[in-house]
Amino acid sequence: MKNYKRCSLNPIRRGDEIPKAPILYYVADPMCSWCWGFKDARDEIFDILGEDIRIEFVMGGLAKDSDEPMPEETKSYVKDAWRKVTARTGAQFNWDFWEKCRPRRSTYPACRAVIAAGDLGPQMFDRIQQAYYLEAKNPSDLDILCSLAKDLDLDEELFRRKLESAEVEEELQAGFNTRRRLGAYSFPSLVLEHKGKVQFLCEGYSSAQEIMQLWNSLGQN
């Protein structure tokens, strides 16, 4: 993505408050393999549309907090997803993760880290993906997340406190409320909201070409 300034995190709104200006929501989870496969298409779309519309990241929350090791059945499921993502998108994965790390089915910490990074949330989203999928690091671990914050020149101790704060948890839950209000349950999803109307540009992986064709058919160009 050429310019992160075009993107922001989904802010807390009162209840089910509907924004007046058009917004393109990116509903995703940094530990979702299909969101990793979608990254190049996402960046292309955001670079095209980012000058014309506000883009908000909404954390999906694939898996709740857990300290339990990932069950073998779940490991097989995730590994199969990695293979399918590579086959369809060409995205690469560092399979050393499965030997070097103690996998847990817990993505909430990574979602909180994106929120705790504040204005650097979109950069943190991408840094988590890079660390997880290319560097074989486990973003379910708080120490890893804090080291990634340091990579972005954030104060590590302040970031850790924010990561465990009630404020970040409130923002995480507010994002889940936005996701439910939009009806976005597949990741990645791109959802356009304008004047109370919701239009999905994708529910799950789609190519940039497919999404832009739909966008243009809506008369948004």
H-helix or E-strand containing 41?
helix 39-49
Predicted pLDDT of residue 21: 82
First to last CA, the chain: 20
Predicted pLDDT of residue 220: 57
Q: What is the pTM of this model?
A: 0.93
Interior angle at CA 115, CA 6 and CA 70, nearest 5: 120
pLDDT at 168 over 70: yes
pLDDT-derived band at 7 (thresholds 50, 70, 90) equals confident
Can you tell me the mean pLDDT for 14-22? 66
- State both tokens at 20: 């007046």
Domain ranges of the chain: 4-217
Predicted pLDDT of residue 6: 64
- State both tokens at 153: 């020149």
- Residue-wise pLDDT for 172-199, tens only, equals 999 999 999 999 999 999 999 998 899 9
- Residue-wise pLDDT for 25-67, tens only, equals 999 999 999 999 999 999 999 999 988 899 999 999 999 999 9
Predicted pLDDT of residue 13: 56
Where does 4-217 sit in CATH, by number? 3.40.30.10
DSSP string covering 65-90: ---SBPPHHHHHHHHHHHHHHHHHH-
